[in-house]
Structure 1
Amino acid sequence: MARLAIQVSRLLAERAGPELVSTPGWDMLVDLYVGDPTTPMSLTGLSGAASTPSRTSLSVIARLADHGMLIRTPDPNDGRRVLVHLSDKAIALLDSCFDALLLMML
């Protein structure tokens, strides 16, 4: 279901234009969720999921972390990098959203 949500978002952006339907926070959350939600991703990798300028992506990531949706940790292999992963709160929220979506489709 999460993969379908990504495809719908991309299709809508393609047809309506990304400036009308851009939701970088959603794109980031779903991108992390579709992979292993507990596996950290670099800020650069996560920024790529949103297809927004770096400054915008970093601002969105900071907002998501401030709201308890993302957890930022230093990269144990490279002290210059920061890794992010979904919090339990974000996983529960996305689980409930996709469960509700499935019920709507029945």
Structure 2
Amino acid sequence: MERLDIGTIEEASKMLSGFLFTYDNLERNKQNKNSIDLGALSKIICDNYWTRSKLAIGFNANEVCWRILFEIFSAQSSGRPISVTDISISSDTPCATTIRWLAIMYDNGVVNRMPDRNDRRRIWIELTEIGMSYVTTVLQDLSKRISSTFNR
């Protein structure tokens, strides 16, 4: 009976080793499939930066401006309203800077400002068609670059 138990234990041990080996290989394959070439990604981001800088927005839109635009786009795309304070917090931009950029964008027809009906202190912000076009152009460019680089 001891011999049977030892044989059973050996068999179970071999099976467990096989499972662990298979699982380990699966995990390694997942990691390899999910890893990306960071150098290529960096190049895509740089190229996308140049795409953004070439858009004729009518003002010099820096990274802070684009962070604000992306926050507004994200909120608007998900159907939720976004206030000046929300934009400032989510874009990690000082409130005064956010207000200054929103004024520039408003003057250039990129955003609309709508007062809150229930709280006169709050202003809701949304992208105009022009603003949506700018952000969509940049995101489509980024998406196209990522797809062509990593889906080969």
Post-superposition Cα deviations, 1:3-41, rounded to whole Å, max 9, x if no partner, equal xxxxx8xxxxxxxxxxxxx82211111011122346431
The SS at the match of 1:24 is helix
Q: Which letter maps to 1:25?
A: C
The residue aligned with 1:35 is: 75
Q: Give the whole-Å Cα distance in 2 for the aligned partners of 1:67 and 1:40.
A: 21
Q: Give the whole-Å Cα distance in 2 for the aligned partners of 1:36 and 1:54.
A: 20
Is the contact made by 2:81 and 2:124 (CA closer than 8 Å) also made in structure 1?
yes
The alignment covers a number of residue pairs equal to 86
Q: Give the whole-Å Cα distance in 2 for the aligned partners of 1:90 and 1:84.
A: 11
Out of 44, 64, 84, the residue aligned to residue 24 of structure 1 is 64
* TM-score normalised over the length of structure 1: 0.69
Matched, 1:52 2:102: no
Which structure has the higher relative contact order (CA within 8 Å, separation 6+)?
A: 1
* Unmatched segments (≥5 aa) in structure 1: 1-7, 9-21
* Unmatched segments (≥5 aa) in structure 2: 1-44, 46-61
The higher radius of gyration belongs to 2
CA drift of 1:98 comes to 1.4
The SS at the match of 2:76 is coil
Matched, 1:103 2:144: yes
Q: Give the whole-Å Cα distance in 2 for the aligned partners of 1:60 and 1:43.
A: 11
Query: How much is the aligned-residue C-alpha RMSD, in angstroms?
Result: 2.0
* Structure (1 or 2) with the greater helix fraction: 2
The residue aligned with 1:81 is: 122
Identity over aligned residues, as a percent?
Answer: 24
* Structure (1 or 2) with the greater strand fraction: 1
Out of 113, 128, 134, the residue aligned to residue 93 of structure 1 is 134
- From the superposition, tell whether residues 83 and 63 of structure 1 become closer, same or farther in structure 2 (CA, over 3 Å): same
